[in-house]
Amino acid sequence: MNLQNFTHVMSFSKTVMLLALVASFASEAVAGWKLDLSRRQDQIRKREMQMRVPASTEAVDSGIIDSIFEYAEPMQEIVVINSQAGFIPNTLNLQKGKAYKIHVVNVNEELKNVSFVLDTFSQHHATYYGEVKSFHLNPKKEGVYSFVCPETSAQGKLVVFSPGSSAKPVDMRFPASE
């Protein structure tokens, strides 16, 4: 081993020892570092306690809630089938002011892409074979309106009646007791 190689080995060993010494001091220093979040947690708990109000003293202004949410009856759902023979049912009786969800289903095997048009309520929908097309209706005015399928010339009626009127809706089923 010559002198130059010996110097490199000694230099390398000094570097390794120096790194080991630094690492041992660093691990002791890091072990001493602790995060104290107790004051922060106390502040969070105090804020949460200030925000809580006991249920017995909580006052609710129903006017505000009523203005945000509209309380309504459950929505009635109606299914209209567009078949080769036309619409089933071909007459829909809807009550004025009530909310409805209409589901139109195309089961016409000959024409698999047809339309459902209810012009008065601005409802124009493409109906594809086997798929359901849904939309909402909330009729505001009494009357008899028509819906059509332009491709098959199928037609139907939508009768909107008032709940207090003495006139009975067209083709409406009534219980046997009436």
Domain boundaries, the chain: 76-161
β 123-128/91-95 pair status = unpaired
pLDDT for position 59? 42
Contacts of 172 (CB under 8 A, 6+ apart): 93, 159
- Alpha-helical (H) ranges within the chain are 3-32, 38-51, 62-68
pTM, entire model:
0.53
The answer to whether 139 and 93 have CB atoms below 8 angstroms apart is no
Residues of the chain with confidence (pLDDT) below 70: 1-13, 16, 18, 20-41, 48-74, 165-178
pLDDT for position 103? 94
- Assigned superfamily of 76-161: Cupredoxins -  blue copper proteins (2.60.40.420)
pLDDT for position 156? 93
> What is the distance between the alpha carbons of residues 83 and 177, in angstroms, rounded to a whole number?
33
Burial class (CB in 10 A: 0-12, 13-18, 19+), 139: buried
